[in-house]
């Protein structure tokens, strides 16, 4: 097949719910029995699966006309070495786009919604049918990209983790997390349900939920609404992060005054764990991808030097 260019395109795909269930129960018929036995609609699983597989086939065919295509499954992203000039096409939900961005360094990402009727897709502005035009224009330098600020957490032992949406810093279970939080000239010992650090991209996710809950509580107490952080949402390329402490507990040894604010390049946030065990830092909702954060360990959270590049 004659290609338009020799540019390399990495097509990121994922398993469907049906793929995962077949891997667990060994056969399609066993999965059907399991789903229908629970009273659920098995046809929905089939429709989602078939639509996604058709989208993968169409995307691969279109992209092969534009460059050299390598299909990469989601589970191999963390260990894959992306070329400096690779173009990355992600076929999946928003979470997959965010997860891919975390492992890239300046490579451009095209987010494609395989099933617009099922997924909203804030990070998926294109459909499979758009791919031919979008990628061709990208190769010709005619497509704009949006910068996506990332967050970076570094421990005193040198371990580093990046986040595209947000960090959770706290205890693995539902027990209270204990730590000392320092930002600028302020320092406070705290006991809480953990700290959320959000990027602009993630400000419509977990942080939005935290602020919605805080606003509801404050409204109930004060009988009037208030505004924070520009209504809770800020730009994807904002040069700062936003942190919020979840359910801080006031006591003789723990405070509740340093619970919400901005992290800038000049003003990072430092946390020192006071947890004997089960302390973790994970990013973008992926609990299996975490750093241990236990007694004596310090974490510095700042705006990352690298950014994501998302085609719009």
DSSP letter at 77? G
Q: Which of 59-63, 136-140, 217-221 has the lowest mean pLDDT?
A: 217-221
Per-residue pLDDT of 38-65, as tens digits, reads: 888 889 899 999 999 999 999 999 999 9
SS3 call for 308: strand
DSSP 102: T
Structural domains present in the chain: 8-143 (3.40.50), 150-304 (2.60.200.30)
Q: Which residue has better confidence, 301 or 226?
A: 301
Contact 233, 204 (CB under 8 A): yes
pLDDT at 222: 66
203-212 per-position pLDDT tens digit: 888 888 788 7
The string of pLDDT tens digits covering residues 146-171 is 999 999 999 999 999 999 999 999 99
Cα(76)–Cα(79) distance, integer angstroms: 6
Taking phi first (over 0 means left), then psi (-120 to 50 degrees means alpha), and beta for anything else, what does residue 263 get? beta
- In 3-state terms, what secondary structure has residue 86? coil
Q: What average pLDDT does this structure show over 26-31?
A: 92
Token pair of 239 as six digits: 């040069």
pTM, to two decimals? 0.77
User: Which two structure tokens, joined as six digits, stand for 229?
Assistant: 């952080």
d(CA 1, CA 6): 12
Helix (H) / strand (E) element for 243: namely: strand 240-246
The rounded distance, in Å, linking the Cα atoms of 294 and 232 is 31
- Residues above pLDDT 70, as percent of the chain: 94
Give the other-Cβ count within 10 Å of 80's Cβ: 14
């Amino acid at each position: 097949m004659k290609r338009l260019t020799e540019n390399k395109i990495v097509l990121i795909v994922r398993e469907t719910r049906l793929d995962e269930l077949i891997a667990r129960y060994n056969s399609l018929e066993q999965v059907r029995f399991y789903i229908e036995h629970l009273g659920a609609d098995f046809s929905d699983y089939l429709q989602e699966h078939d639509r996604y597989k058709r989208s993968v086939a169409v995307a691969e065919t279109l992209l092969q006309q534009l460059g050299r295509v390598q299909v990469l499954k989601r589970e191999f992203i963390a260990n894959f070495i992306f070329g400096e000039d690779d173009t990355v096409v992600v076929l999946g939900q928003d979470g997959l786009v965010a997860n891919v961005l975390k492992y890239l360094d300046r490579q451009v990402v095209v987010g494609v919604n395989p099933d617009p009727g099922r997924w909203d897709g804030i990070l998926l502005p294109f459909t499979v049918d758009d791919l031919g035009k979008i990628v061709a224009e990208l190769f010709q330098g005619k497509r704009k990209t949006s910068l996506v600020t990332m967050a970076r957490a570094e421990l005193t032992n040198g371990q580093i983790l990046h986040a595209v949406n947000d960090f959770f810093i706290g205890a693995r279970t539902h027990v209270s997390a204990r730590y000392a939080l320092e930002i600028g000239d302020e320092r406070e010992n705290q006991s809480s349900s953990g700290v959320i650090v959000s990027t602009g991209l993630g400000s419509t996710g977990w942080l939005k939920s935290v602020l919605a809950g805080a606003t509801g509580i404050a409204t109930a107490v004060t009988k009037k609404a208030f505004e924070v952080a520009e209504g809770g949402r800020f730009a994807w390329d904002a040069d700062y992060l936003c942190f919020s402490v979840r359910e801080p507990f006031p006591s003789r040894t723990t405070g509740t005054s340093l619970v919400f604010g901005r992290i800038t390049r000049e003003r990072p946030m430092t946390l020192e764990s006071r947890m004997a065990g089960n302390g973790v830092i994970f990013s973008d909702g992926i609990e299996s991808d975490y750093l241990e954060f236990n007694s004596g360990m310090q974490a510095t959270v700042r705006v990352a030097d690298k950014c994501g590049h998302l085609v719009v």
